[in-house]
């Protein structure tokens, strides 16, 4: 048996290896590249089964056994208020959608220094993230577990008294070889290492494929899932929190009436949108950009829309509207205005990504070093060449609305 640890930051990979049973295994470390968009020189060289997990966004670590991924890890030190808690949610979804357990390390709270009013306080994690992860687990039956990045939050309610004030109240590991990694002596990290070791034990005993079905039944992982549900309740989690406060449910007829302006030349919008009676609209009145909106969109899918493993298995259509949206109940349609975003902003981002596309070149124009990348693009098109937010938006949204244009699926 041979393990591979794919990493974005090697010191974090060394940390995970040293603190789990991986240290006693035969393993090798490999550098992981996020996408063809940001690393055209190396991304195509990644094995196909790793690319599949990266199709939306890249986690910090992927651990595999004999070419079968067994878990991924995402770690952040950011304060998780509002939309921010979901900024990296698409990475978790991509892992679990490929039947790979995901670990999310996130501060329960982080200290934020605000110049306005000269206040320094703890910004706490949006508990809705627990519900989103639980809904993902309910659909895929694959662990998606959150562990708190160690902090002084529970022992120093007054942020100004935190011993780690300059580090946002977070506790980092004392070993300099693990720079930037969470304090491994903290109970949260010890519980996480136990869960990782449980996965290692199970997949070695019964194999990766069969082992995946057994994981949520294991007491170590089941206990964590239950604790997450308890944390959601204890922290006042409910479906009237951000980003769900930025959504609106409308009759799909209103959406179809709005999109009818694009039904020209005998074209009629296809059956997918028409198959659902109601539509959830995620309203973003901001300049067109990425974070935190891609992850929030992914979370909204699982919190409100998704009933199965495919976007086709939704109770409601999931639509993004860039601008100030008004529901016209009298006219049974939508109105959308904005001075911040246009459909051309989306198209420009797509076009910029296409500059990395080799498919229009003749064979004699392609250097030998680029031929494997060209061949990858022949298979996948520009799927991995697009920037992250374009990939995520087009994957999750059934339609994207702008004041001056729209994009939608027919099937």
**What tokens does 52 get?**
């599949």
Say if CB 62 and CB 6 are below 8 A apart: yes
Structure confidence at residue 116 as a pLDDT band (50, 70, 90) = low
How far is it, in rounded angstroms, from Cα 142 to Cα 101?
A: 6
Structure confidence at residue 408 as a pLDDT band (50, 70, 90) = very high
Tens digits of residue pLDDT in 63-97 = 999 999 999 999 999 999 999 899 999 999 999 99
Tens digits of residue pLDDT in 273-297 = 999 999 999 999 999 999 999 999 9
Structure confidence at residue 385 as a pLDDT band (50, 70, 90) = confident
To which H or E segment does residue 136 belong? helix 128-140
Region of poorest pLDDT, from 3-7, 178-182, 375-379, 394-398: 375-379
Note the pLDDT of residue 380. Answer: 87
DSSP 150: P
Structure confidence at residue 37 as a pLDDT band (50, 70, 90) = confident
Tens digits of residue pLDDT in 317-345 = 999 999 999 999 999 999 999 999 999 99
Sequence-distant (≥ 6) Cβ neighbours of residue 245 within 8 angstroms? none
- Averaged pLDDT score across all residues of the chain: 95
Structure confidence at residue 164 as a pLDDT band (50, 70, 90) = very high
Across 23-28, average pLDDT: 97
Across 49-71, average pLDDT: 93
Peptide bond into 292 cis (omega under 30): yes
How far is it, in rounded angstroms, from Cα 230 to Cα 232?
A: 5
Instruction: Using a cut of 0.85, tell me whether the model's pTM lies above it.
Output: yes
Note the pLDDT of residue 387. Answer: 87
Note the pLDDT of residue 93. Answer: 92
**What tokens does 321 get?**
């509207």
**pLDDT of 115 over the 70 cut:** no
How far is it, in rounded angstroms, from Cα 23 to Cα 20?
A: 6
Across 27-47, average pLDDT: 90
Q: Which residue has the higher pLDDT, 57 or 374?
A: 374
Q: In what order do the strands lie in the sheet with 68-75?
A: 27-31, 3-7, 61-65, 68-75, 102-107, 144-149
**pLDDT of 118 over the 70 cut:** no
Tens digits of residue pLDDT in 214-261 = 999 999 999 999 999 999 999 999 999 999 999 999 999 999 999 999
Total residues found in the chain within this entry: 411
Note the pLDDT of residue 146. Answer: 98
**pLDDT of 193 over the 90 cut:** yes
DSSP 125: P
Tens digits of residue pLDDT in 349-370 = 998 887 788 988 999 999 999 9
**pLDDT of 372 over the 80 cut:** yes
Please list the helix, strand and coil fractions of the chain in percent, rounded to the nearest 5, in that order: 40, 20, 35
Sequence-distant (≥ 6) Cβ neighbours of residue 365 within 8 angstroms? none
How far is it, in rounded angstroms, from Cα 85 to Cα 120?
A: 20
């Amino acid at each position: 048996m041979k393990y591979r640890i794919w990493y974005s930051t090697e010191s974090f990979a060394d940390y995970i290896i040293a603190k789990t049973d991986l240290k006693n295994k035969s393993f090798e470390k490999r550098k992981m590249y996020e996408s063809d968009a940001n690393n055209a020189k190396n991304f195509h060289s990644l094995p196909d089964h790793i690319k599949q997990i990266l199709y939306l966004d890249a986690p910090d670590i992927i651990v595999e056994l004999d070419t079968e991924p067994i878990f991924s890890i995402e770690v952040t030190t950011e304060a998780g208020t509002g939309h921010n808690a979901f900024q990296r949610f698409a990475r978790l979804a991509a892992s679990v959608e490929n039947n790979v357990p995901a670990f999310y390390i996130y501060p329960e709270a982080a200290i934020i220094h605000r110049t306005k009013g000269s206040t320094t306080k703890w910004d706490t994690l949006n508990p809705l993230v627990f519900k989103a992860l639980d809904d993902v687990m309910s659909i895929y039956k694959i662990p998606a577990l959150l562990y708190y990045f160690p902090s002084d939050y529970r022992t120093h309610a007054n942020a100004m008294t935190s011993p780690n004030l300059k580090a946002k109240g977070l506790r980092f590991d004392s070993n300099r070889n693990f720079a930037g990694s969470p304090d491994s002596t903290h109970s949260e990290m010890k519980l996480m290492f136990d869960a990782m070791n449980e996965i290692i034990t199970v997949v070695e005993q019964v194999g990766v494929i069969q082992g995946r079905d057994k994981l949520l039944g294991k007491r170590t992982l089941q206990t964590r899932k239950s604790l997450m549900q308890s944390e959601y309740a204890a922290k006042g989690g409910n479906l009237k929190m951000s980003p769900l406060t930025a959504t609106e449910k409308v009759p799909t007829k209103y959406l179809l009436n709005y999109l009818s302006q694009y039904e020209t030349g005998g074209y009629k919008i296809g059956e997918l949108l028409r198959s659902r009676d109601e539509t959830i609209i995620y309203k973003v009145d901001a300049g067109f950009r990425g974070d935190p909106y891609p992850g929030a969109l992914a979370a909204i899918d699982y919190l409100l829309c998704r009933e199965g493993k495919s976007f086709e298995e939704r109770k409601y259509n999931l639509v993004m509207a860039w601008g100030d949206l008004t529901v016209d109940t009298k006219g049974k349609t939508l109105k959308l205005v904005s001075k911040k975003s246009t459909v051309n902003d989306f198209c420009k981002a797509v076009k910029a990504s296409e500059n990395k596309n080799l498919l229009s070149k003749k064979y004699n124009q392609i250097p030998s070093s680029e031929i494997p990348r060209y061949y990858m693009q022949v298979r996948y098109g520009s799927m991995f060449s697009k920037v992250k937010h374009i990939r995520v938006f087009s994957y999750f949204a059934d339609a994207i609305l702008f004041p001056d244009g729209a994009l939608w699926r027919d099937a």
